[in-house]
Amino acid sequence: SKRDDKEVWIQTTNVQVLLAALECGLSTTALFPSQNAGLAEEWRKVGRFSALALTEDGTVTEEDGDFYRAVGITLKVNGPEDVDAIARMAGVEPLVVVDSSAWRIIPAENLVAKFGATDESRLFSVSETAKDAEAMFEALETGVDGVVLRTDDPAEPRELAAYLKKRGMIGGGGEGPGKLELTPAAVTRVETVGTGDRVCVDCASAFHPGEGLLVGSFATGLFLVHSECLDAEGYVNSRPFRVNAGALCSYVVTPGGKTAYLSELRVGDDVTCVNRDGETRVMTVGRVKVEQRQMVLVEAESLVGGVRTGKRFAALLQNAETVRLVTASGEKERVVSVSTLDVGDVVLVHLQEGARHTGLKIVEEEWYEQ
């Protein structure tokens, strides 16, 4: 499917598998066939999870008060004719779980293409190993929307969680090859302005040197603001979990190519951590700290081949030595504090095309930010 967020359900008769999935952050959803329905209640004490029921006719249901509500169907694949029948469910059923021991990449790709063409349906597949699940998530590059990991081996959910974290598909601060393009931009203005509500984003994992969040006043150009993992000239202890991200109204990049306002972030939300090479990973927000502070206006103009393009971007950041921007390669220092930032310094920005509506890119004929 074309969606970026992936989901995993657990189907098992071994409580240790569910525990492993909860501990490593892989899943909080478990699927129980009718013959194992009693396990759902029996395992409630091991942790918080959502229990889905699988009826004998293949319907997936969830509790809705005193009733059970159908959320999808499970269909078996035994041959090509079954693949064709499932493809016809795209846009009809909200969620289709494909179950087949003969499941292979070619039919997976056919179905991924079919379901990827509609926003009305999601496609899940049953996988019995982490390796099988990885193949499903990579089918036709975009992969299925979700996997039902059916196993009694606690090692399988841990292996799958490691894979998904590396690719930034689930939280936990895992390293990943997902990249965003970063562009050099020449600073054109640095000016102390009035006070404002400054937002510190504290995450549940530590940032590494060179990493931070992409924030800015305009969605079209976002500055790479470094974390506070570096020492601050002996005045302030490092806080490796924090990015002092700037004004409450600023945009911040979140997983799936989306943006959010800093004012929208809450504990438990995910943000996209980026390093100076554009490599990304998902970080979970542990706290958002908002305080009145004096702000500094930073404006910059993107460069192509060292030549200014005329495209200007801005950020309102706190006037503090611990607030640093990541510099472009070739600069003497790898980061520069806003307290010593000068016109002409070259920093890294991420350019985004198009306007944004509720964090998503939209196409509009005329619009601008200034």
> 36, 43 in Cβ contact below 8 A?
no
Phi then psi dihedrals of residue 162, to 5 deg: -60, -40
Of the candidates 35, 11, 6, the one whose C-alpha atom is nearest the C-alpha of residue 21 is 11
3-state SS class at 292: strand
CB atoms within 10 A of CB 209: 13
Q: What is the pLDDT, as a whole number, of residue 358?
A: 43
The conformation of residue 364, written as its DSSP 8-state character, comes to -
| Protein fold of 183-362 | Endonuclease - Pi-scei; Chain A, domain 1 (2.170.16)
pLDDT confidence of 63, banded at 50, 70, 90?
Answer: confident
Residues paired with residue 289 on neighbouring β-strands, in sequence order: 200
Q: What is the mean pLDDT of residues 325-338?
A: 84
| Average per-residue pLDDT for the chain | 86
Q: What is the pLDDT, as a whole number, of residue 39?
A: 95
Cα separation, 224 vs 215, whole angstroms: 7
3-state SS class at 84: helix
> 10, 146 in Cβ contact below 8 A?
no
Q: What is the mean pLDDT of residues 219-247?
A: 87
Phi then psi dihedrals of residue 199, to 5 deg: -115, 120
Of the candidates 201, 196, 317, 170, the one whose C-alpha atom is nearest the C-alpha of residue 265 is 201
273: its two tokens: 């951590």
Q: Where are the domains of the chain?
A: 7-166, 183-362
Question: Does pLDDT of 217 surpass 70?
Answer: yes
Question: Does pLDDT of 364 surpass 90?
Answer: no
83: its two tokens: 């693949």
* More confidently predicted of 1 and 320: 320
pLDDT confidence of 305, banded at 50, 70, 90?
Answer: confident
Cα separation, 326 vs 222, whole angstroms: 12
CB atoms within 10 A of CB 279: 17
> 139, 2 in Cβ contact below 8 A?
no
Q: What is the pLDDT, as a whole number, of residue 29?
A: 94
pLDDT confidence of 4, banded at 50, 70, 90?
Answer: low
Residue 319 exposure: Cα atoms within 13 Å on the Cβ side = 13
The region of weakest confidence among 21-25, 84-88, 126-130, 315-319 is 84-88
Question: Does pLDDT of 12 surpass 80?
Answer: yes
Q: What is the pLDDT, as a whole number, of residue 235?
A: 60
Task: Report the DSSP pairing between strands 59-64 and 258-261.
Answer: unpaired
> 244, 259 in Cβ contact below 8 A?
no
Q: Is the dihedral of CA 277, 223, 302, 361 positive or negative?
A: positive
Q: What is the pLDDT, as a whole number, of residue 177?
A: 44
Q: What is the pLDDT, as a whole number, of residue 359?
A: 46
* More confidently predicted of 273 and 66: 273
Q: What is the pLDDT, as a whole number, of residue 365?
A: 44
* More confidently predicted of 244 and 231: 244
Of the candidates 292, 344, 352, 289, the one whose C-alpha atom is nearest the C-alpha of residue 318 is 292
* pLDDT tens digits for range 121-141: 888 999 999 999 998 888 777
Q: What is the pLDDT, as a whole number, of residue 356?
A: 43
CATH of region 7-166: 3.20.20.390
CB atoms within 10 A of CB 112: 24
Question: Does pLDDT of 51 surpass 80?
Answer: yes
Buried b (16+ CB within 10 A) or exposed e, 159-168: bbbebbbebb
* More confidently predicted of 118 and 152: 152
Tell me if domain 7-166 and domain 183-362 are identical in fold.
no
Cα separation, 368 vs 172, whole angstroms: 36
From residue 228, how far is each of 222, 272, 323 by CA, in Å? 18, 16, 7
Q: What is the pLDDT, as a whole number, of residue 234?
A: 55
Q: What is the pLDDT, as a whole number, of residue 284?
A: 92
pTM across the whole model: 0.63
pLDDT confidence of 192, banded at 50, 70, 90?
Answer: very high
Question: Does pLDDT of 107 surpass 70?
Answer: no
From residue 316, how far is each of 30, 145, 250, 351, 368 by CA, in Å? 44, 37, 8, 17, 18
Based on the number of CB atoms within 10 Å of its own CB, is 176 exposed (0-12), middle (13-18) or buried (19 or more)? Answer: middle
